[in-house]
Amino acid sequence: MSRTASPLRFTKMHGAGNDFVVLDLRGEVPPPDAALCRALADRHTGVGCDQILTVETPRVAGVLARYRIWNADGSASQQCGNGARCVAAWLVRDGVGGDDFVLESPAGLHRVTREGAGYRIAMGVPEFLPARIPMAGVDAVQPLYTLPVDGVGTLAFGAASMGNPHAVIEVDDVDVADVARIGRALQASSWFPESVNVGFAQVVADDRIRLRVFERGVGETLACGSGACAAVAVLARRGRTGRSVAVSLPGGTLHIDWPADDVALSMAGPAAFVFEGEL
């Protein structure tokens, strides 16, 4: 697929400020190439977005639709919780989704339930084994890794996978956190061979945190659903928060519930339509 092909229809959406271009590729339509992703994501000459979401024909029986995620730089991503809610809302508006259905992502299957004006997504059980995140050079699970990072020095962080890798750094005040410098350093670190999404979390109360996320392939975003899930998972395992937490991000608030370590974590939040267009 290229920009010189027939006109490309799209929907601009956002979930708590994390914004997307949604493409309907159901059928045998090929996915966008890296150049098209970069063109769509460009905020000056394109539509502008953090990620491109493609809605596709499911490959699994009983699933409403498959979706894939492409970062602003054209790289593929495995998971996007805010994107999942937007895809859910898009399908409901299209007349094929109801109040309870299942979506397929690169990370697996996700049950979706309508909750008020938004949607709750089952995001799966967090993974803490270093090899599954993946982290290199670390064998045992640790609640807090204290490791040298080039350009930063020794850094303490938690790590988890929500289908994509996350590092979570607890800070006293997210407003003054050195998000871009530390985020880039960790993403380039040999500790994370597939790079990493870096969250900066401030614990406000047992049931509330503030969070900023520096995403791989994108940079800092107004919200990151999988990052909110990872932050709660890491902090709850350390006893820093409870199991039901409101996560305040620059673009809005997400509600994370994780009843027990061996139970799927779920996330609820808004999904909004911005405009339709054609390129």
Q: What is the CATH number of the domain that holds 18?
A: 3.10.310.10
In a domain, 4, yes or no: no
Q: Is the peptide bond before 259 cis (omega within 30 degrees of 0)?
A: no
Residue 214 lies in a domain: yes
Number of domains in the chain: 2
Judgement on whether residues 137 and 112 belong to the same structural domain of the protein:
no
Which parts are annotated binding residues for substrate?
18, 51, 71, 81-82, 164, 197, 215-216, 225-226
Q: Is 37 a catalytic residue?
A: no
Both 136 and 114 in one domain: the answer is no
Choice among 37, 49, 224, 229 that is catalytic: 224
Q: Which of 37, 80, 86, 229 is catalytic?
A: 80
197 with 239, same domain? Answer: yes
- Stated pTM of the model: 0.93
- Please report whether residue 2 resides in a domain: no
Catalytic (active site) residue 224: yes
Residues 184, 259: one domain?
yes
Tens-digit pLDDT profile for the chain (279 aa)? 444 457 889 999 999 999 999 999 998 889 999 999 999 999 999 999 999 999 999 999 999 999 999 999 999 999 999 999 999 999 999 999 999 999 999 999 999 999 988 999 999 999 999 999 999 999 999 999 999 999 999 999 999 999 999 999 999 999 999 999 999 999 999 999 999 999 999 999 999 999 999 999 999 999 999 999 999 999 999 999 999 999 999 999 999 999 999 999 999 999 999 999 998
d(CA 61, CA 63) in angstroms, rounded, equals 6
Question: Domain range holding 207?
Answer: 130-263
Would the CA dihedral through 33, 34, 38, 39 be positive or negative?
A: negative
227 burial via Cβ count (<10 Å: 0-12, 13-18, 19+): buried
Annotated binding site: 18, 51, 71, 81-82, 164, 197, 215-216, 225-226
